[in-house]
Each structure stands twice: as structure tokens, then as C-alpha cells.
A and B are shown apart, each in its own frame.
Chain A
Amino acid sequence: MGSLFSPRANRSFREASVLAAAILLIVPLALWAFARTPAATGQYRAYAQPVPFAHTLHANGLRIDCRYCHAGATTAAMAGLPPTDVCVPCHLDGLLRSSLFTPVRTSLTTSRPVAWRRVTRLADFVFFNHAAHVQHGVECDTCHGPVELMSEVYQAAPLTMEWCLQCHRAPERYINLRDTGISGWKRTDVARSQATVRHYDVARLTSCTTCHR
């Protein structure tokens, strides 16, 4: 009777074993890496909005303070989006009549809200409070990025818990003295930030219920 295995059998068996070992090693590493990519975190994801609102023009060009539209930022948990009628004072009727403003006009006439797409989304069990941050030296751009330069607003940060904790565990590395008002987009030196931490008396807020309630 012929031999059971071909001469190459041993070799291919060894190769197979090595391959198996490699897979066992690589798969977890791949997963670990993927979880941190924008594909998984949604970082840099932008949405087409019903109204082509240009932050570049309003925030950068006209230097309109963020709070003019996002009025809740300093007082409430939600920064809030502007009521439709906020657009009206500045924009002349002529402008409003342009097709770009159709959703705004319909909103005003039917008094149904404009349906903006949510760009920066936290899980429902995360209770983020804008006032608590903005009031204590966290600039808008620390989390939202250079919105004034975004033609289409995108999610600037990965928004993973790890990312939140970077700051909550070491606030002095991130918070900034509010000198130029909310819309000052300057990263300042650490020594100054440490002074700021003392100034606002920011604690290392790492209790779970700081964000999860």
C-alpha cells in the first residue's frame, strides 16, 4: 500500500500551524487598531445640512460669537441650535427669498422646525453639560475643532470615553483662560493652563456619575 502522506505533508503542516498562530495574534491587534479609527468613532464625519449654513462666513468672516446662535452653551447642558427666527433679523427679505433659504422660509410659514442633522452625537447615557465646560475654561474648539474653518461641519473629536478621560484625568493639559471670549481659538502653554486650573478650581472629575446618571 502507498504511503499515507505526500513528502510535502510535514512542511505544509508546519506552515499551516505558523499561519494559525499568526492569525491568533493578528486578529486582536487589528480589532484594537480599528476601534480607534475614524471609521469606528465617526471622527471627521460630516453631514449635508438642509440649509447650507457656512460657519466659515459667520464665525470666521463675520466673527459672530458662537453664543449668538448656540445660546445655551454658557448656561445650559445643551448648547442648542438657533430658533428659525434668529436668521431673520440679519438676512434681508431678498436674501431670504433665495432658494438656499427654502427650508427657513417653510419653517417660518408653517412654524415647523428646521430638521438639522446632528453632527456631534453622544450616547444617550452620557450627560454632557456645555455650561460646566464653557464656564470653566474649555474652549469650544477643544472638542468641536476649528468650526470656523469648516465648510461642512464635521465631528472633530473621536468622542470615545478614553478621549473624554484624557482631560478629566488631567484638565490642566486642555483648559484655557477665557480671554478672547468663547470664540478665541488659541492653544496656550501648559504653565498658563495650570494657573487656569487653579483659577477655575477645576477638579479631576473622574467619578462615573460625572457623566453617567
Chain B
Amino acid sequence: MSAQVLVAPPDLPVTTAGDREIVEAVLAPLRTTPPLWWVLFAICAAGTVLWLGAVVYTVAAGIGVWGNNIPVAWAFAIVNFVWWIGIGHAGTFISAFLMLLNQPWRAAVSRIAESMTLIAVAIAGTFPLLHLGRPWFFYWLTPYPSTMGVWPNFKSALAWDVAAVVSYFIVSTTFFYLGAIPDLALARDGLQGRRRRQVYGVFALGWNGAGTQWRRRRAALKIIAGIVAALVVSVHSIVSLDFSIAQLAGWHSTNLPPYFVIGAVYSGVAMVLVLVVPIRRLYRLESIITLDHLDKLARLLLTIGLLLTYCYVVEFVIASRSSDPLERTTYLQHWPFGYFGWLFWLMLVFNVGTPQLLWSARLRRTPAVLAGAGVAILAGMWLERFIIVVASLAQGALPSSWFAYRPTWVDWSILAGSLSLFGLVFLLFLRFVPAAATDELRRDRFERAARVQR
């Protein structure tokens, strides 16, 4: 293999044996596929078929096949949408924010996190579409010169949503791709098979590791990182506006935007843990994704968990002081003791209780525990969205309109199916894209070595 593949960023000394280890470790998954991969792939494929079936059935028969009703006109689809968008935050957060903050440890997980982001956001995007009564007219939400001579309503947060999510997806994709180019080049030069290498070659855009390329890439990444960092905040803020611009008690609250962003990153980091822990086992990446990395993620999780807890406190304190009787009853009666009271308490256990485990250094360095915590928090965040969306709607301003909600098998299938779809695409990513940024890893390693010498 030609030496140039290992040409390092100009600010690093010539490559060492350690660098080769890193590259080999990262390229390994592209060379060999462990049997377990096939097992997981089969499972996810089956789930995806279920998803497809449920989606087709919904579009063919109508939203009525879901459990939604009046007053609960929004339910699973919106909950899932917000949940997936939230998960889609960690990637860019970890990459962009931590990059701007010069946190080299992010290198190990950034690629995984970013790809997770893309997949999650894409899946999230399907829900609002599917959720429309007449999805075939979805384009009426976009501003275009129609023969009807009318435009979308720019006052509605739903119209902003479209813009926010789409732009977030585009920018994240660019960010992800720019970061991956050198590693795609590695694959181009490091793998066997002409066709295969050609494909990687096309995506590598002729990367040859010249110093100028490295410099421009780094500059571009910095700029986009800045943009994405802003988007991370804006997207979920705007998603939260879907609720806070409404007058409905439980939605109508000005602290929703920050609260949503924090919650989003929370679930995102949790998802990263859920993915990283098995992957490092599956592909023997323990040397790349070390316990130190997991420990850092765990600390991050704990911190955000505490932030979120603070948000909860603030929200309920404000509600309890509110002059709006509806707001008081919604937060202090309907949520904790209403139709879905038990889910509310379960949510608190998951979101507030789980992170407390991570005060213990020992648990922070126990992968299984971290994965478990991740799952619990993901569930908790899903429940949180369910409480906000469904519990608030079910018991509104007029007691006469109160009506409970029960999901149907279609609702469950679409939720489970979306998870499978996520798994399916993610497995493909692992199979074909280098799972970590080698250049970052090498810089990280070099700098740590330098620190040791001093």
C-alpha cells in the first residue's frame, strides 16, 4: 500500500507504527464481517419490513388506523418525531461543540455519533409526513408559487419546522462527509478489489493528503462546525415551538426551547452509549474507544441529566405559581395523577434517577451499566415527550372534552419498525464507512504522548 495514505495532517510528525495500528483497527470492519453482524442485520431487516407494512397500511387506509382521537389529535407519530430528532442532536453536538471546545477525546466516537445523527434525523423526517391527513399534499407546506395563488402560513411553527429540519439535515450531512473524506481515501487505498476501491475513490474526491487539502478541510470543518453548533440549538428550539406557540396548558411555556435542546442532547448521548458499547466489543475497538472515552461520555450524560432535572424543577415551580388555573391543574394534577400518571412517574425515575448512578467512577467504567443507563434514558425521554404531547391533550380546558388515548398495533409497529430501520442503516454504515476519524485519533494519541513526555 502506498505511503501517502498515511500522510498525516501537516501539524503531525511522520507516521509511526502506532498510527498504522489505528488505521488497521478502523479499516478492519470494512474488511471482515463478524457473523453477529449478519444476525443483527436479519433482525433489523425483519423489523423494517414490519415498518414498511404499517406505513403502507396507514397511507392506504387513513390515520384512523392509529389510536389518535379528538382531543388527542397528536400522539405516537409526533412523540416519535420529537424523540428521533432529539437523538439526532448528539452527533453534531459531540462533533461540533467539542471540536470548537478542542476536546480531542471526541475523536473516538464522533464519526459514530455523526452517522447516528443523520440516520435519526432522516427517520424523524418520515413521521410528520406520515402524520398528515393527506400526505400527498405535503408540498403545500413549502413556499412555492402555486396556481392557487396562496402561500403557506408563515405564522405557523409547522412551516418553520420543515425549514429547520431540512437545513439541519443538509448541514450535518456536509459536516459528516467532509470529516470522512480522508478515511474514505484510506479505504480507497487500503482495501482489496478494484470496483470496491473505485467506489471509495469516487467518494474520496481524489484526496491525496496534500497539506493544502488538510488545511482547507480543517478550515471548512471549523466553519461548518460553527454553523451546525448554531443549528443544534435552533432545530430543537423550533421543534419545541410546535408546542409552545400553542395556547394549550402543558405546551404553552416559554422555557420549552432550552428544555427541549437539553433533553435532545441528553437522549442523543444516551443513544451514543447504547451504540458504542456493543460496537467496541463487536469490532474489537477497545483500543480505539477506551474506557476513558466511555467515562467522559458518562460524565457528559450525568451533567446533562442534572441540567434536565433542573429544567423539570423550573417548569413545575413556574407552573405552580401560574395565574392560569388550567396550567396549574395540568402540571400538578393531570400529568402526575391523570390518565397517564404512572407513565409520568416512570419517566422521572428514568430521566432523573438513572444518571445518579454515574456519580460512581466504577459504574462509569462498566460498559454494560452505561449501555443499560442509555436504554433507560432513551425510554425516559420518549415517555417525557408522550406526557407532554398526549397527557396535555387528553385533559384540556373543557372537562367535557376529556378523553383517554390508547395506541393501536399500527402505532407500536411504526415505533418498533423505525428502530429496526435505524439499526439496519446503521449496520450498513458500520460495514462500509470507517467508523472513526483516524486523523483525529492520531492527533489525540500524539498529543497525549507529548503530554506524557513532559
Q: Taking CB as reference atom, which chain B residue is nearest A41?
A: B147
Shortest C-beta distance, B391 to chain A (Å), equals: 34
From 134 to 168 in chain A, residues with beta carbon under 8 angstroms from any chain B beta carbon are 158, 160-162, 165
**Are B188 and A160 in touch, CB under 8 angstroms?**
no
**Are B188 and A4 in touch, CB under 8 angstroms?**
yes
Given contacts A4-B188, A4-B194, A161 and B202 within 8 Å (CB-CB): no
Chain B 173-195: CB-based contact to A (< 8 A → 1; otherwise 0): 00000000000000010000010
Q: Taking CB as reference atom, which chain B residue is nearest A159?
A: B147
A32 at the A/B interface (Cβ < 8 Å)?
A: yes
Task: Compute how far the CA of A10 lies from the CA of B201 in the bound complex, rounded to whole angstroms.
Answer: 11
**Are B198 and A32 in touch, CB under 8 angstroms?**
no
Given contacts A4-B197, A5-B201, A161 and B149 within 8 Å (CB-CB): yes
Shortest C-beta distance, B190 to chain A (Å), equals: 12
B450 at the A/B interface (Cβ < 8 Å)?
A: no
A125 at the A/B interface (Cβ < 8 Å)?
A: no
Chain A 6-42: CB-based contact to B (< 8 A → 1; otherwise 0): 0000100100000000000000100010011000010
Q: Taking CB as reference atom, which chain A residue is nearest B145?
A: A32
B144 at the A/B interface (Cβ < 8 Å)?
A: yes
Given contacts A4-B188, A10-B206, A161 and B194 within 8 Å (CB-CB): no
B101 at the A/B interface (Cβ < 8 Å)?
A: no
B150 at the A/B interface (Cβ < 8 Å)?
A: yes
**Residues of chain A within 8 A of B206, CB atoms compared:** 10
Contact of B147 (CB < 8 Å), options: A5, A13, A35:
A35
**Residues of chain B within 8 A of A165, CB atoms compared:** 149
Task: Compute how far the CA of A7 lies from the CA of B145 in the bound complex, rounded to whole angstroms.
Answer: 44
Task: Compute how far the CA of A47 lies from the CA of B147 in the bound complex, rounded to whole angstroms.
Answer: 24
Chain A 151-194: CB-based contact to B (< 8 A → 1; otherwise 0): 00000001011100100000000000000000000000000000
B398 at the A/B interface (Cβ < 8 Å)?
A: no
Interface residues on A, range: 10 to 19
**Residues of chain B within 8 A of A35, CB atoms compared:** 146-147
**Are B149 and A32 in touch, CB under 8 angstroms?**
no
B39 at the A/B interface (Cβ < 8 Å)?
A: no
B148 at the A/B interface (Cβ < 8 Å)?
A: yes
**Are B198 and A162 in touch, CB under 8 angstroms?**
no
**Are B194 and A162 in touch, CB under 8 angstroms?**
no
Task: Compute how far the CA of A160 lies from the CA of B146 in the bound complex, rounded to whole angstroms.
Answer: 10
Shortest C-beta distance, A193 to chain B (Å), equals: 21
Task: Compute how far the CA of A103 lies from the CA of B413 in the bound complex, rounded to whole angstroms.
Answer: 59
Q: Taking CB as reference atom, which chain B residue is nearest A31?
A: B144
**Are A160 and B148 in touch, CB under 8 angstroms?**
yes
Q: Taking CB as reference atom, which chain B residue is nearest A208?
A: B150
Q: Taking CB as reference atom, which chain A residue is nearest B147?
A: A160
Task: Compute how far the CA of A36 lies from the CA of B149 in the bound complex, rounded to whole angstroms.
Answer: 12
Contact of B144 (CB < 8 Å), options: A10, A32, A41, A160:
A32
Chain B 321-347: CB-based contact to A (< 8 A → 1; otherwise 0): 000000000000000000000000000
Given contacts A10-B206, A32-B144, A5 and B198 within 8 Å (CB-CB): yes
Task: Compute how far the CA of A161 lies from the CA of B149 in the bound complex, rounded to whole angstroms.
Answer: 7
**Are A161 and B201 in touch, CB under 8 angstroms?**
no
Contact of A161 (CB < 8 Å), options: B145, B150, B198:
B150
**Residues of chain B within 8 A of A32, CB atoms compared:** 144-145
**Are B147 and A4 in touch, CB under 8 angstroms?**
no
Given contacts A4-B194, A4-B197, A13 and B202 within 8 Å (CB-CB): yes
**Are A161 and B147 in touch, CB under 8 angstroms?**
yes
Shortest C-beta distance, B409 to chain A (Å), equals: 34
Task: Compute how far the CA of A5 lies from the CA of B148 in the bound complex, rounded to whole angstroms.
Answer: 51
Given contacts A4-B188, A4-B194, A4-B197, A162 and B147 within 8 Å (CB-CB): yes
* Complex A-B, nearest 7 residue pairs according to Cβ-Cβ distance, in ascending order: A162-B149, A160-B147, A161-B148, A165-B149, A162-B147, A4-B201, A35-B147
Interchain residue pairs with CB less than 8 A apart (29): A4-B188, A4-B194, A4-B197, A4-B198, A4-B201, A5-B198, A5-B201, A10-B206, A13-B202, A28-B144, A32-B144, A32-B145, A35-B146, A35-B147, A36-B147, A41-B147, A158-B147, A160-B147, A160-B148, A160-B149, A161-B147, A161-B148, A161-B149, A161-B150, A162-B146, A162-B147, A162-B148, A162-B149, A165-B149
Q: Which residues of B pack against A, CB within 8 Å?
A: 144-150, 188, 194, 197-198, 201-202, 206
Known: A5-B198, A36-B147, A160-B148. 11 other contacts (CB 8 A): A4-B188, A4-B201, A5-B201, A10-B206, A41-B147, A158-B147, A160-B147, A161-B149, A162-B148, A162-B149, A165-B149
